[in-house]
Amino acid sequence: MPIIELDMLIAYVNRADELHSVAVKIFNAVVNHKLKNIGVPASAYLEYELILKSKGYDDESISKDIQAFQNIKNLEEIPLSSNVIIEASRLRQKYKLTYFDSLHAASALLFDGKIISTDNAYKRILELEVIDPRDIT
């Protein structure tokens, strides 16, 4: 199950984001079963919340956004488990990833080894297949 990383969540809700139209197409493809077995790691929702909190957004607005993602049909949520945390630690040590990048990458590796993202940090992880979202649409 390829996972969608934080950059697509932000692009989806932010109309000014250069990847907004790409994100909309991807999420529409998920809803319409053109893209199957797509997930979002719980760690991406956590990072999303922290970023918005740091920018002064209130809890109600953040909650509504995350609920909107939950309501997207055919979009799975990948849980944050102890195995994800252990794998993320290994990835941080080996590839010098940021905390959240390591959690997202670990989630992807423990599922099918694929991540949909524009973040170049993932390209350093040899065992991870990085799918550029612009190549999907």
> Each residue of 101-116: pLDDT tens digit?
999 999 999 999 999 9
pLDDT in tens, 115-128: 999 999 999 999 99
Residue 41's domain comprises 3-135
CATH number where 82 lies:
3.40.50.1010
Q: What percent of the chain has pLDDT over 90?
A: 99
Of all helices (H) and strands (E), which one includes residue 38?
strand 38-41
pLDDT lower than 70: segments of the chain: 137
Domain total for the chain? 1
